[in-house]
Amino acid sequence: MSTNSEPAIRVTGLRKEFGDKVAVANLTLDVERGEVFGFLGPNGAGKTTAVKMLLGLIFPSSGSGSVLGEPLGDHRTRAKIGFLPEHFRFHDWLTAEEFLRLHGSLYHMDGAGLDHRVPEMLELVGLAPYANKRLRAFSKGMLQRVGLAQALLNDPELVILDEPTSGLDPVGRRMVRDIIRTLKEKGTTVFLNSHLLSEVEITCDRVAFIKHGEVLQSSSLQSLVAGELTVEVRARNLRAEVVAGLGRWSENVRADGDRLTMTLIGEQELPEINRYLVAMGVDVYSLKPNQLSLEDLFIKIVGTDGGL
Amino acid sequence: MTVAIIARLTFREAARRRILLAALLLGLLFIIVYALGFYFVNAEIQREGTRPLEQNEIRNFLTMAGLYVVNFLTVMMAVLTSVDTLSGEIASGTIHTLVAKPVRRWEIVLGKWLGFGGMLTLYLALMAGGVLAAVFLISGYSPPNLLRGVSLIWLNGLLLLGVSFSGGATLSTLANGVLVFGLYGVAFVGGWIEHIGSLLQNQTAVDIGILTSLIIPSEALWRRAAFEMQSPLVAAAGFSPFSAPSVPSPMMVIYGTLYAGAALLLAIRQFGRRDL
């Protein structure tokens, strides 16, 4: 029996080869229960292959793992998992409602439960007015919404979303973010496979960067971005000795006329720096901290070659 | 439970995509044309005062011709409807959301097989029923061992359905289509070689025919069906193109049944082991 103390996902040394091609080299990963986990990497890094191994769609060449405390590929565990695939294609001759009822029945949900749950899910993803429309007539964004509804039907403990926002407009993206936030509040574990970094930045607790099927770095989003803070100062009267004096807060100070940039460990030193500048008779027009964006980090960790 | 859901989905898909409707409308057209032809031939032989025994020989020949077409259409129906059900859904990714549910893979394969098998049964019942009803209503004739003969045609359809499934679990849709029709063609040609070889009493040709029946016993099943339903006189004369001077033995029927079952099991095994 699984207990809730075990991680939602734990894989060790997972590897998958397709002929000569190594899709996932050596994946070792823990995802705790209740966290929103971002799985990042360039195209072709093996993200989708890794996700498919978690779900038992692809059999690993070597390595092992567990999902919700049960071995990879256990079909009963999938009752507690919701999944939205990247290249979702559904039986497009079904209406949205029929589609959700079909997938609900595959989750072994009974008719009465579905009578209640299907309209609720359609409402959640904003498709209530299209319940009786066939999926064939849906736009890509609408299909993604109905796919998301399908992944949440069974009130899962773990939701695996493979590029959930790629086909969506800004309104749809916000909807996905809100849904992820609601899931997090309920204690649901969310495994988000994405290359849309701004999305990940807003929603995830922890991220792993993968390239060539290996985790390069895995840590909490806060600690990742915390260590690096660039401050941009616009001021007049920036004399050389004032600039030199900033050396006690930062080793990396660059002045260029009225502009000055430096990197700090954290934002707690900002007020003190401001007081110092004013005391030295500098006219400060702006003092702007720029957190290193996830995109900068992504490029720093993964490299600019995009894993090619 | 899951098997029933998938079977129903398969059936509904065929209905919703109007595959069934198209097949049934064309089938109806065939039966109308067939009934008209039979009506005029029947009227002709009655007018000419052919002896009753000979009349029934001609009716039996015409019934066999009709069922020969029904056999062919049933096989086509079995293969064409199912040839892309596994490979197509794997290629498109439709299968991913299904397999990611708390279901076992064999349940999906078996469910689909039952769905198509049910459709095939319905189709054959209507088509064979239509031919036999037309013959009976027009002339009052009905061939012997009807149920046994039609059951063998049914088995033939299920056999090719199984082959199409096991190919689809492994190959692409196109490769699967080439494989299944290739095998069917081999059986077809092999059957005729055996037929002619038997008329010419050439044992080598007969052996080649038997060998192809082992590779895929679909044509052998039809010839056994025709043998069951042919009239005794034709059997004695052995000249009808739809009957068989060299009759596949009951062992071949058992072989065909095992073959059909093994094909389904192979499909389940292949689909269960492959990456999706």
Nearest C-alpha neighbor of A130 from the set A145, A115, A116, A117 = A145
Q: In this structure, is residue A308 part of a structural domain?
A: no
> Measured at the alpha carbon of residue B231, what is the angle toward residues B230 and B237, in degrees to the nearest 5?
95
**Beta-bridge partners for A83:** A160
Count of domains in chain A?
A: 2
Structure confidence by residue, pLDDT tens digits, B58-91: 899 899 999 999 999 999 999 999 999 999 999 9
- According to the model, what pLDDT value does residue B234 have? 64
Is the CB of B5 inside 8 Å of chain A's CB atoms?
yes
For residues A216 and A280, state if they share a domain. no
Query: Taking CB atoms and an 8 Å limit, are B99 and A105 in contact across chains?
Result: no
Side by side, the strands of the sheet bearing A21-31 are: A70-71, A62-67, A9-18, A21-31, A214-220, A206-211, A36-40, A189-193, A158-162, A81-84
Mean pLDDT over B197-217 rounds to: 87
Range of the domain at B267: 2-273
Tokens of B215: 């590779």
Nearest C-alpha neighbor of A164 from the set A186, A191, A137 = A191
For residues A32 and A127, state if they share a domain. yes
Is the model's pLDDT at A66 over the cut of 90? Answer: yes
Q: Give the closest of A78, A88, A91 to B101, CB-based.
A: A78
| CATH for A275 | 3.30.70.260
Q: Which chain B residue's Cα is nearest to A87?
A: B93
Q: In this structure, is residue A123 part of a structural domain?
A: yes
Collapsed DSSP state (helix, strand, coil) of residue A114: helix
Q: In this structure, is residue A253 part of a structural domain?
A: yes
| CATH for A51 | 3.40.50.300
Query: Taking CB atoms and an 8 Å limit, are A89 and B94 in contact across chains?
Result: yes
Is the model's pLDDT at A1 over the cut of 50? Answer: no
Side by side, the strands of the sheet bearing A253-256 are: A253-256, A259-264, A229-236, A283-291
Contact predicate A85/B97, CB 8 Å = yes
For residues A263 and A213, state if they share a domain. no
Which amino acid would we find at residue A3?
T
CA distance B203 to B194: 9
Q: Which chain B residue's Cα is nearest to A148?
A: B97
Domain boundary among A201, A224, A247: A224
For residues A126 and A92, state if they share a domain. yes
Is the model's pLDDT at B156 over the cut of 80? Answer: yes
- According to the model, what pLDDT value does residue A32 have? 92
Q: Are strands A229-236 and A259-264 parallel, antiparallel or unpaired?
A: antiparallel
Tokens of A105: 């029945």
Residues in Cβ contact with B226 at an 8 Å cutoff, skipping those fewer than 6 apart:
B64, B67, B68, B149, B242, B243, B244
Distances (CA, A) of B248 to A42, A110, B152, B236: 61, 50, 12, 16
Range of the domain at A85: 9-224
Distances (CA, A) of A303 to A100, A212, A296: 41, 12, 10
Q: In this structure, is residue A246 part of a structural domain?
A: yes
Which amino acid would we find at residue A227?
G
Is the model's pLDDT at A225 over the cut of 70? Answer: no
Residue A306 confidence class, pLDDT cut points 50, 70, 90: low
Residues of A in contact with B1 (CB under 8 A): 108
Query: Taking CB atoms and an 8 Å limit, are A89 and B275 in contact across chains?
Result: no
Domain boundary among A200, A224, A248: A224
Residues of B in contact with A79 (CB under 8 A): 102
Q: Diameter of chain A by CA atoms? A: 77
For residues A274 and A151, state if they share a domain. no
Query: Taking CB atoms and an 8 Å limit, are A93 and B17 in contact across chains?
Result: yes
Residues of B in contact with A93 (CB under 8 A): 13, 16-17
Is the model's pLDDT at A293 over the cut of 80? Answer: no
Residue A257 confidence class, pLDDT cut points 50, 70, 90: confident
Residues in Cβ contact with B247 at an 8 Å cutoff, skipping those fewer than 6 apart:
B223, B224, B227
Q: What is the ipTM of this complex?
A: 0.84
Count of domains in chain B?
A: 1
Query: Taking CB atoms and an 8 Å limit, are B100 and A85 in contact across chains?
Result: yes
Residues of A in contact with B94 (CB under 8 A): 89-91
Domain boundary among A167, A201, A224: A224
For residues A181 and A97, state if they share a domain. yes
For residues A219 and A121, state if they share a domain. yes
Q: In this structure, is residue A2 part of a structural domain?
A: no
pTM, two decimals, is 0.86
Q: How far is A90 from chain B (nearest CA, A)?
A: 5
For residues A207 and A277, state if they share a domain. no
Residue A122 confidence class, pLDDT cut points 50, 70, 90: very high
For residues A93 and A119, state if they share a domain. yes
CA distance A160 to A37: 10
Q: Give the closest of B5, B94, B103 to A90, CB-based.
A: B94
Query: Taking CB atoms and an 8 Å limit, are B276 and A57 in contact across chains?
Result: yes
Residues of A in contact with B8 (CB under 8 A): none
Interface test with B, best of A106, A152, A191, A193 (most B CBs within 10 A): A106
Q: In this structure, is residue A4 part of a structural domain?
A: no
